[in-house]
A and B are shown apart, each in its own frame.
Chain A
Amino acid sequence: MKPAPFTYHRPETLDDALDLLATHGDDAKVLAGGQSLIPLMALRMGRPGHVVDIGRIAGLDSITVGADGDVTIGALVRHEQTRTSTDVATHAPLIATAMPWVAHRAIRSRGTVLGSIAHGDPAAEMPAVVLATEPTLIARSSSGVREIAAADFFHGYLDTALRADEILTEVRFPAWSPNAVGAVVEVARRHGDYALVGMAAMLTVDGDTISSAALAYFGAASTAIRVPDAEQALVGATVSADTFDAAAAIVSAELSPPPDIHASAAYRRHLAGVLTVRGLSAATAEIGADA
């Protein structure tokens, strides 16, 4: 279980990194935290000819809060950094809520938030957080910068809008509304495993009326996925058990998750409904408007 040989590059600047990607194209892989890439290479399921280690590029490791409360996360920000950051807890709390579910500390201390997004595992937490919070994803290549909307980013199993010559350099999460509440809930076989199914939810609530809703599921399709019909059922409804049950019923009816050796499709569909209720209850409990 050892990686195949490759040419190793450790550029000091972003431009150098982008040039390398431009030159080697599909035969190159960006190496960020390595917590997904290295095991794939060790199993020889991935064998890039060139590995571009972006770990030494200056300026990518910061969490920046903008003037209007938006939060920008750079490509070298580790999971663990966002779990402990007060800025994240205040301005992008859904990320902080997601983090305890991500793997284990020794993996979070190396794995990057953007790596997780770029990797696009359908059972991972961050892609769902992205879908629920709708940040702008900023990709750079030697030919320029692209801003990608969250809704356009995830294409399929481990497949995203990123081109082989691009680096996801930062993700800008919009300001967290004072009326917003959220939750991340999931069930995994073991603590720290990828989810069987999970949900990242963000609601805005006026009094006890839901004014907007974003429900993003992971482990429930070939990518993280939102369920717009359930969201619409929530908007305008009051925070109550009945409201959540109705949304859950729509979720269970509309999702058709794939089976695997860890859970059947029926189980996942059922679980998505259960987690809808539990997640929405948890989210609204925070603002003292428990169902």
Chain B
Amino acid sequence: MTADRLAAEESAGGSIVDVALTVNGRSAPVRVEARRTLSDVLREDVGLTGTHLGCEHGVCGACTVLIDGQPARSCLLLAAQVDGAEITTIEGLAEPDGTLHPIQQAMMQAHGFQCAFCAPGFLMSAVALLADNPQPTRSEIREELAGNLCRCTGYQSIVDGVEIAVRRMNGDSSGGSS
């Protein structure tokens, strides 16, 4: 952040807060305007741009991240609200050695996405779903993913991808074919 921005923010009339985030296991302390949303802080202050913004008012789900394991819209939270929380973004899905998360592998196999602007949100929603319900039915998958909009795919390939992930995570390493 530039000194100019900081100075301007200090005179903008709102609070400046220190926020201690842990993002993908790494501590990420930031000093920001209290009005900054978690999504903007992740993208602009922490530098993790994998979390996307499609609407900034809670409908599209592109900004979905996990907060202490629970999915949430990062555009509908002030970073200050989640001071101290553990946040997982798409950048944190793969193992430290680069091994992809089963959901990432499955989406590749299923050709789940096209432009993939929506993908970060879908992947985080799917991870949250599978954590709670390791064997969802196809209609449960659709219902759970209904909080995320995709304009390119018509959703079928994304649902296929989650099904493949379910099979992979339940020991069928082939994941079946799409």
Q: Residues of A with Cβ closer than 8 Å to B?
A: 1-8, 10, 31, 34-35, 38-39, 41-43, 51, 53, 55, 80, 103-107, 109-110, 190-192
User: In whole angstroms, what is the CA distance A55 to B72 when docked?
Assistant: 15
Q: Quote the shortest CB–CB distance from A105 to chain B (angstroms).
A: 6
Contact of B34 among A6, A107, A109 (CB under 8 A): A6
Residues of A close to B143: CB separation below 8 A: 191
Q: Quote the shortest CB–CB distance from A273 to chain B (angstroms).
A: 27
Q: In the complex the two chains form, is A39's CB within 8 Å of B76's CB?
A: yes
- Tell me which of B22-30, B54-62, B90-98, B159-167 binds A: B54-62
Q: A3-B35, A5-B35 are in contact. Are A103 and B147 (CB under 8 A)?
A: yes
B70 is an interface residue with CB less than 8 A from chain A: yes
Residues of B close to A110: CB separation below 8 A: 67, 72-73, 76-77
Interface residues of B in 25-66 (CB under 8 A from A): 33-35, 37, 40, 56-58, 61, 64
Nearest A residue to B16, CB-CB: A8
Q: Quote the shortest CB–CB distance from B156 to chain A (angstroms).
A: 16
Q: In the complex the two chains form, is B72's CB within 8 Å of A109's CB?
A: yes
Tell me whether chain A's interface is mostly helix, strand or loop, or mixed: loop
Give 13 CB contacts A-B under 8 Å.
Answer: A2-B35, A2-B37, A2-B56, A4-B14, A5-B14, A34-B77, A38-B78, A42-B75, A104-B61, A109-B71, A110-B73, A190-B146, A191-B143
Residues of B close to A8: CB separation below 8 A: 14-15, 17, 34-35, 78, 80
Residues of A close to B115: CB separation below 8 A: none
Q: A1-B56, A6-B35 are in contact. Are A105 and B147 (CB under 8 A)?
A: yes
Q: In the complex the two chains form, is B57's CB within 8 Å of A42's CB?
A: yes
Nearest A residue to B69, CB-CB: A109
